[in-house]
Amino acid sequence: MTRYYIHQSARTDVAWHTEYNWFRTRATGTNGRDVVGQLFFTGIDFAL
């Protein structure tokens, strides 16, 4: 995961956020197979 601060002040915060997640759960699929999930997100996290 990375975050880059595009703008920051005492009034507003803007960050570019990118993350990738890979996970596996054992034996939860059909016929006891493993299940794998992947997530990718990129976007803006902001506060004011």
The residues of the shown chain that bind other proteins, judged by CB under 8 A, are: 1-5, 8-13, 15, 17, 19-48
Selection from 21, 13, 18, 26 nearest residue 37 by Cα: 21
Instruction: Kindly give the pairing relationship between strand 35-47 and strand 2-8.
Output: unpaired
Shortest reach from residue 7's CB to other proteins, in Å: 9
Shortest reach from residue 6's CB to other proteins, in Å: 8
Count the residues in the chain.
48
Shortest reach from residue 13's CB to other proteins, in Å: 4
